[in-house]
Structure formats: structure tokens, C-alpha cells
């Protein structure tokens, strides 16, 4: 039985890598944010807008505990999930945790492409975006770095990245 939790900042590749890794390892794949959206029939931005972050984080914790009962699964967590309600400790006890570590410069490049689909990023200038990412990484890194595996991703073919990660996990 395998349970792998992928953590990291938005744009780190949790969903993309998670899908490919699950395929290579013949495991199921769950994106925690999509799981929440399907459960509550609302998008994450809608939940944030209607209920606020505190309620969202409680919903996220409940969903995390639910998917952590699945077996033979790769779970892509939301970027903030490890940072609240002792979730990182819980994931470490429930399976193998992987921090997909990406340079700040690369993250900024990646999230700039999706800047208008993420409410927290909308309307930020390039310099504001850089400051935001640097500040958030500084806050979240202590949680991410508790992962069993800290995996430095580099811009290369996704199948190659996943093959390297699969070796790290095995």
C-alpha cells in the first residue's frame, strides 16, 4: 500500500507531476483542491470569497483526512494545506510526503502564466508578484521542508522528472 502526498507552492507542478507519477507507479491520483470543489460544488475562490480562509482551511483538513484513507494513491495537496491544522504532521504519519521544491524565479514564471485564474494573484504587478511569492515561500518553507523527501524539480521532460522522483520514493 502506498500513499504519496505532494506538497509545494502554487506552480510547483503538484498536479502535473502527480498525474504522471501516479500513471508511472500504477496508482490512483487525487487533486485535493478538485476533491474539495467536487464535494462542495464550488470553486476554491468561491469558497474563499463566501466563507473566508479559516472555514476553507477546516474544509481542507476534513477532505485531507478523508483522502488519506485511500490506498495506492498520489495526492496533490493545495499549496497552503501543509501549513494549517497540523496537516504536515498528519501527512507524514499517513504516507510519504514530497516537497516539490522550485526556485522562486521559476515559480514566478509559471504562475505569471496563470495569474488571472488565481484570485490571490490578480492585479499584482511583476514586482508585487515577486514580493508576494518570496514572502509566502518564506512562511511556508518551514512546513514544506518537514517532508520525507525534498525533491528539487528542474525544467525538463515531465516523464523524466517523474522517473527520478519514483526512484527517490522507492
Reading the chain (170 residues) residue by residue, the pLDDT tens digits are: 999 999 999 999 999 999 999 999 999 999 999 999 999 999 998 998 999 999 999 999 999 999 999 999 999 999 999 999 999 999 999 999 999 999 999 999 888 877 666 767 777 888 998 999 999 999 999 999 999 999 998 767 899 999 999 999 98
Bridge partners of 152, per DSSP, are 101
Q: Domain tally for the chain?
A: 1
Measure Cα distances from 101 to 14, 17, 53, 98, 146 in Å.
Answer: 10, 12, 24, 9, 12
Bridge partners of 76, per DSSP, are 6, 31
Bridge partners of 150, per DSSP, are 99
119 in a structural domain = no
111 in a structural domain = no
Instruction: Give me the pLDDT at residue 65, please.
Output: 98
14 in a structural domain = yes
Instruction: Give me the pLDDT at residue 170, please.
Output: 84
Map 54-70 to HEC letters. Answer: HHHHHHHHHHHHHHCCC
131 in a structural domain = no
SS3 state of residue 3: strand
Measure Cα distances from 128 to 79, 115, 124, 145 in Å.
Answer: 19, 12, 5, 25
146 in a structural domain = yes
SS3 state of residue 31: strand
Instruction: Give me the pLDDT at residue 154, please.
Output: 76
Instruction: Give me the pLDDT at residue 157, please.
Output: 86
Instruction: Give me the pLDDT at residue 156, please.
Output: 74
Q: What is the CATH number of the domain that holds 97?
A: 3.40.50.300
- Backbone φ, ψ for residue 76 (5° rounding): -90, 115
Instruction: Give me the pLDDT at residue 117, please.
Output: 66
Task: Give the global pTM.
Answer: 0.95
CB contact set of 150 (below 8 Å; sequence gap of 6+): 98, 99, 101, 144
Instruction: Give me the pLDDT at residue 155, please.
Output: 65
16 in a structural domain = yes
Burial class (CB in 10 A: 0-12, 13-18, 19+), 40: middle
Instruction: Give me the pLDDT at residue 74, please.
Output: 98
Instruction: Give me the pLDDT at residue 19, please.
Output: 98
127 in a structural domain = no
Q: List the domain range (segments joined by +) for residue 27.
A: 3-101+141-165
Amino acid at each position: 500500500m502506498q500513499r504519496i502526498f505532494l506538497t509545494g507552492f502554487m506552480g510547483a507542478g503538484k498536479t502535473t507531476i502527480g498525474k504522471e507519477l501516479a500513471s508511472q507507479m500504477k496508482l490512483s491520483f487525487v487533486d485535493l483542491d478538485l476533491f474539495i470543489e467536487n464535494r462542495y460544488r464550488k470553486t476554491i475562490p468561491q469558497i474563499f470569497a463566501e466563507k473566508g480562509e479559516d472555514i476553507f482551511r477546516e474544509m481542507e483538513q476534513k477532505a485531507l483526512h478523508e483522502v488519506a484513507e485511500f490506498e495506492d494513491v498520489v495526492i496533490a495537496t493545495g499549496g497552503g494545506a501543509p501549513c494549517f491544522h497540523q496537516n504536515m504532521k498528519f501527512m507524514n504519519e499517513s504516507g510519504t510526503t514530497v516537497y516539490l521544491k522550485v526556485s522562486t524565479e521559476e515559480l514566478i514564471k509559471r504562475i505569471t502564466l496563470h495569474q488571472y485564474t488565481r484570485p490571490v494573484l490578480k492585479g499584482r504587478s511583476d514586482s508585487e508578484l515577486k514580493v508576494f511569492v518570496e514572502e509566502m515561500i518564506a512562511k511556508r518553507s518551514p512546513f514544506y521542508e518537514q517532508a520525507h523527501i525534498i525533491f528539487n524539480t528542474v525544467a525538463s521532460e515531465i516523464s523524466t522528472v517523474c522517473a527520478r522522483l519514483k526512484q527517490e520514493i522507492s
